Amino acid sequence: MNSLVSNGTAPSDNGFYLIAFDTLGNKNYLILALVIIYLITLFCNLVLLVMVFMNPSLQNPKFLAVCNLAVVDISISSVIVPQMVPVFVFNLNHISFGTCFSQMFFMHFFSDMESFSLALLAYDRLVAICFPLRYPYINTNFRMSFIIGGLWFLVFLLEIFPVTLASNLLYCRSRVVQSCCCEHGPVYALACGDTSLNRQLVTVLRIASVAQRWKAFNTCVTHLALVFIYYLPVIMAYIMANLNLVKSVDLFTAVLTVCVTIPPMLNPIIYSLKTEELKEKASYLCSKCLLIISGKHIISALQ
């Protein structure tokens, strides 16, 4: 790595340099594990979406919310993992300003959408448990679609301002971002102007996120499992960082990245195992596939 990459202070430079996992001797194994997690995430969530799309009986408000979570899971993993391969395997760690701030927006956008999606699932189960007879009239497909669309628009407005503010800062100091992706905190900390408003926005967003976390706990066991899987490791990681218990920034980044990418992989698996409708449809599809395969073998044997 040349001097430009190491100090990132050249005025003509129009981007950042992502630096992470340098102190981890087996970082390629970490990237491989993340890629495997990503592929499983894609497969499981796409299977879930296809099952709902192909079965009209599953096209109800509950599974609209489930499909919304699946889309968010695919999106957040796609924003984080694929760009890590060229950066940390092939050392192509330079990222332009436009790409960096675009990634920053989508990463935080889908992270917030994960919170709101879990809260939406909690709301759906709360209505189903407390008002079982009125549930079909309270939660219709149209109302659930309207709520989902409103959440996407709300989170867009919530995230566009801090990212725009960060992109307008002057970065005349180091351009080295100590992270595996363009997170808001590590990036705006490199600015040489006044970042007090950025810090205030980060605090406000964290408060809003915590409020949504508490709302998401008011539901049944499946949704509690989703919430614990998504938030508990991340909360513990941030507590350890704030208490200065983290000795290695690279190790902290690695743990945090794994904590963010594993829940999108587990969400559809949990729904497949815990939801009777999905288990029935999955068993039917598997039986149908086995019959088709067996029929082909019988025909080939007779020939």
Specify whether the CB–CB gap between 218 and 59 falls below 8 A. no
pLDDT digits 0-9 by tens, 209-241: 444 444 444 345 565 666 676 677 667 766 766
If one counts the domains in the chain, the total is 2
The last residue of a domain, from among 193, 212, 244: 193
Q: Are residues 188 and 274 in the same domain?
A: no
204 in any annotated domain: no
Residue 277: domain span: 231-291
Q: Which CATH number belongs to the domain containing residue 81 in this structure?
A: 1.20.1070.10
Q: What is the pLDDT of residue 7?
A: 39
Q: Are residues 165 and 57 in the same domain?
A: yes
DSSP letters for 212-236: HHHHTTSS-HHHHHHHHHHHHHHHH
Q: Are residues 130 and 65 in the same domain?
A: yes
Query: Comparing 273 with 115, which gets the higher pLDDT?
Result: 115
7 in any annotated domain: no
The last residue of a domain, from among 193, 218, 249: 193
Instruction: Spell out the residues 6+ positions from residue 10 whose beta carbon is closer than 8 angstroms to its own.
Output: 4
Spatial distance between the Cα atoms of 287 and 202, rounded to a whole number of angstroms: 50
Q: Are residues 54 and 162 in the same domain?
A: yes
Q: Which of 198, 195, 182 is nearest to 18 (CA)?
A: 182
Specify whether the CB–CB gap between 254 and 32 falls below 8 A. no
8 in any annotated domain: no
Interhelix angle 27-54/276-302, rounded to 10 degrees, is: 90
Q: What is the pLDDT of residue 39?
A: 92
Termini Cα distance of the chain: 64
pTM of the model: 0.73
Specify whether the CB–CB gap between 186 and 177 falls below 8 A. yes
